[in-house]
Amino acid sequence: MYGSYSECKRFALVIQFLVLEVSDLGFDWDFYAEVSKSERFKGDAISWAIFVFAFWGTILFMLDGGWLIIAVCDGKPSEAEDVVNCLTTWTEDIPQMIMAVYIAVLVQEPITGLVQYTKAMLAILESAIRCIIIIARCCGCSDDDDDERCCPKFADTVNFIGYLIIAICAIVVLVIFAG
């Protein structure tokens, strides 16, 4: 017998977290490692900034994972989950992508090999998936729906804008390296 829609949704959340967030965290640290060992940025402020944001991203990763476990076990999403997503987007993902654009503009070629390409592609993919989820959540609600997860919601709007900024930064990185 197949599981319920709710069980499938929880499974999808876990898979999304494992694939996207674990990959993102790994690329954040790989990006730091590559930048910090490059001759141009070794010991530079940008290298330390990338380290700080990778460390902050690790803390947020653990918070996000904790809220995911609570949501999966509880069977319903939490408002705190949206706040952590918003916090991650605006205080870790966007600054890291801006630093990636800064480095791309300075050197005009990838100093980190495939890391910058892959991180940019992952950022575009993750932003697209998260924007689609927000749109689907908004479109799935009727006018008389009383569910607090329905749009318009401030966190969804702020996250949506953040995901668009991340995608634009990632596209800029790809365009700079392609040209």
Tens of pLDDT, residues 18-69: 788 899 999 999 999 988 888 888 888 999 999 999 999 999 999 888 887 7
For 119, list phi and psi in degrees, rounded to 5: -60, -40
Amino acid at 31: F
Looking at residue 9, its pLDDT comes to: 65
- Residue 40: phi and psi, rounded to 5, are -70, -35
- Specify the number of domains making up the chain: 1
Residues spanned by the domain of 72? 5-178
Mean pLDDT of 78-100: 88
- Give the pLDDT of residue 51: 96
φ/ψ (deg, to 5) at 148 = -70, -15
* Other beta carbons within 10 Å of 2: 6
* Mean pLDDT of the residues in the chain: 83
Query: How far is 10 from 170, CA to CA, in rounded Å?
Result: 29
> 49-53, 71-75, 94-98: which range is least confident on average?
71-75
Whether 81 shows a pLDDT value over 60: the answer reads yes
Separation in Å, CA 81 to CA 6, 24, 26, 37: 17, 18, 21, 35
Q: What is the pLDDT of residues 104-138, one digit of tens each?
A: 888 877 676 678 888 899 999 999 988 998 888 77
pLDDT band, residue 7 (cuts 50/70/90): low
Give the model's pLDDT for residue 61: 92
Judged on CB neighbours under 10 Å (0-12, 13-18, 19+), 114 is: exposed
pLDDT given for residue 74 in this prediction: 74
Confidence of residue 149 (pLDDT cuts 50, 70, 90): low
Look at residue 1 in the predicted model and tell me its pLDDT.
41
pTM: 0.84
Model confidence at 91: pLDDT above 80: yes
DSSP label of 37: H
pLDDT band at 150 (very low <50, low <70, confident <90, very high): low
List, in sequence order, the alpha helices (H) in 75-113.
Answer: 79-88, 94-107
